[in-house]
Amino acid sequence: MVNEKGIGQIKQQLSEMKTKIKIFLLTIMFISASVAAQNPSKPANPFGLVYGGAITENVNGKVNIHPVTYKLNGIDISANIYTPANYDPSKKHPAIVVAHPNGGVKEQVAGLYAQRLAESGYVAIVADASYQGASGGQPRNVDKPANRIEDIRGMADFITHYQGVNANQLGLLGICGGGGYSLKAAQTDKRFKAVATLSMFNSGEVRRNGFMNSGLSTIQERLKEATEARALEAAGGKILYASDTEITDEMADKMPFDLYREGHYYYHRTHAHPNSTFRFTMSSLLDLMEFDVTTNMDLINQPLLMMAGSKADTYYMTDSAFKLATGTKEKELFLIPGATHIQTYYVPEYVNRAVGKLNEFFGKYL
């Protein structure tokens, strides 16, 4: 039996315990509030767009965005079409096909440039590549040049039959890897009346030789890995992937090239999108490593604009392809002062310079 003294001690202990619980809960609330203040939640863009100044709703009299899907060789393609302000589908408008970078998706830089082109009066389409992003295709993240080129042709197929588009006024803009594939598409597909690239990346050359020829000594080793990966797939085994390592900020900071260091922060931090990934099937290297954008550049007879940042460490690829474009009488190399490769994706000053040049170019030739 507990006496009155014992009951008093128990009450005191309960009171002290309640006080400690209150302090603990208040501490948790304070910490949570502090974290929330440091990391404010951002409302998700209804269209999934992650670039600055992106459309959040379709408003009459302004640029609108129209998510669409269509079939390409049996695969569901996910695309966005941007229409200019006061768009009248009963009239005919010029259109631009926009091809996204390697590892990128339509909601990032390609969407930004498509929106800016729509602001200038063009109908613009940007689609996720087959096997990538929100588009279909298995296994995921196959990255073969033939597929990427066909994706560009598929966008042309769709947009030239879109209500209000003049099929005879079709332009093409390719960004980074999409720029290289756009050059290949334009070599044979003459529906494109004018062709432009931004920060062009020669995927085949880099996958084969390494960036700035840094992988020449491992070509045969990597071809062996790709061959074994293809054999494993054919046997029904595991799909192996390249560039599938999770990169930390510390790892990125030690990278010797601006492209990869700044690319990490763009794709994984400031403009991250859940559908965007650098990884690709190891077996894709069998196709990538024998591919080269600069082959048959003389087949391009359309007006050509190639843009790059003056500080871009990828500039050597643009320069090489541009010099080999001997089949066109109308071509221009345009450098954006002070810009690196990735900075042309989002820095307002550099984006404005690029868009201004695109308006001049497409305005003249479409």
Among 176, 140, 146, smallest CA distance to 306 is for 176
- Residues 150 and 256 reside in one and the same domain: yes
Q: Following CA atoms 82, 176, 185, 226 in sequence, which dihedral angle do they give, to the nearest 10 degrees?
A: -130
Give 347: exposed, middle or buried? Use CB within 10 Å, 0-12, 13-18, 19+. middle
Would residue 47 count as lying in a domain?
Answer: no
* Together in a domain, 91 and 5: no
Inter-axis angle of helices 109-119 and 348-365, to 10 degrees?
50
Q: Is 192 in the same domain as 116?
A: yes
221 within a domain of the structure (yes/no):
no
| Adjacent-strand bridge partners of 83 | 64
Q: Is residue 112 part of a domain?
A: yes
Mean pLDDT, all residues of the chain: 91
Give strand pairing partners of 306. Answer: 197, 333
pTM of the model: 0.88
In a domain, 136, yes or no: yes
Helix axes 177-188, 145-159, angle to 10 degrees: 70
127 shares its domain with 5? no
Alpha helices per DSSP H over 45-163:
109-119, 145-159
Shared-domain flag, residues 134 and 271: yes
Q: How confident is the model at residue 166 (pLDDT cuts 50, 70, 90)?
A: very high
In this structure, what CATH number is given to the domain that contains residue 147? 3.40.50.1820
Q: Is the dihedral of CA 58, 63, 67, 71 positive or negative?
A: positive
Residue 58 lies in a domain: no
Is the model's pLDDT at 17 over the cut of 80?
no
Q: Which residue has the tokens 């929330």?
A: 36
Number of domains in the chain: 2
Retrieve residue 225's tokens: 């890995």
Inside any domain, residue 303: yes
Predicted confidence at residue 20, as pLDDT, reads: 44
- Residue 280 backbone dihedrals phi, psi, to 5 degrees: -150, 155
| 3 state SS of 355 | helix
Which pLDDT score, from 0 to 100, does residue 190 have?
A: 98
The H-or-E segment that residue 222 falls in is helix 219-234
- Structural domain contains residue 33: yes
Map residue 252 onto helix, strand or coil.
helix
Q: Which range, of 127-131, 147-151, 167-171, 243-247, averages the lowest pLDDT?
A: 243-247
142 confidence band (pLDDT: 50, 70, 90): very high
69 and 23 in a common domain: no
Q: How far is 174 from 182, CA to CA, in rounded Å?
A: 5
CA separation for the pair 199, 340 (Å, rounded): 9
Cβ–Cβ < 8 Å for 240, 279: no
Return d(Cα 362, Cα 193) in angstroms, integer.
9
Q: Are residues 297 and 361 in the same domain?
A: yes
Structural element, H or E, at residue 320: helix 315-324
Residues spanned by the domain of 306: 64-202+245-278+292-365
* Confidence band of 47 (pLDDT split at 50, 70, 90): very high
The pLDDT value recorded for residue 22 is 43
Residues 9 and 105 in one domain: no
Do 109 and 51 touch, CB atoms closer than 8 A? yes
The predicted pLDDT at position 19 comes to: 46
The three-state secondary structure class of 125 is strand
Residues 187 and 257 in one domain: yes
Q: Are residues 272 and 350 part of one domain? A: yes
The reply to whether 124 and 179 lie within a common domain is yes
- Cα–Cα distance list, 277 to 149, 245, 340 (Å): 19, 11, 21
Q: Which two tokens stand for residue 239?
A: 């799909």
* 3-state DSSP assignment of residue 127: strand
The answer to whether the CB of 281 falls within 8 A of the CB of 139 is: yes
pLDDT at 201: 98
Q: List phi, psi (to 5°) of 153.
A: -65, -40
Mean pLDDT for the stretch of residues 109-118: 98
Contact 116, 355 (CB under 8 A): yes
pLDDT value of residue 320: 98
Question: Interior CA angle at 17 toward 16 and 21, to 5°?
Answer: 120
Backbone φ, ψ for residue 67 (5° rounding): -65, 130
**pLDDT tens-digit profile of 288-342?**
999 999 999 999 999 999 999 999 999 999 999 999 999 999 999 999 999 999 9
Residue 347 has pLDDT above 80, yes or no: yes
pLDDT at 185 over 70: yes
Any domain includes 251: yes
Given a cut of 60, is residue 153 above it in pLDDT? Answer: yes
What mean pLDDT is predicted for residues 191-202? 98
Same domain (yes/no): 296, 176: yes
**Tell me, what's the pLDDT at 334?**
98
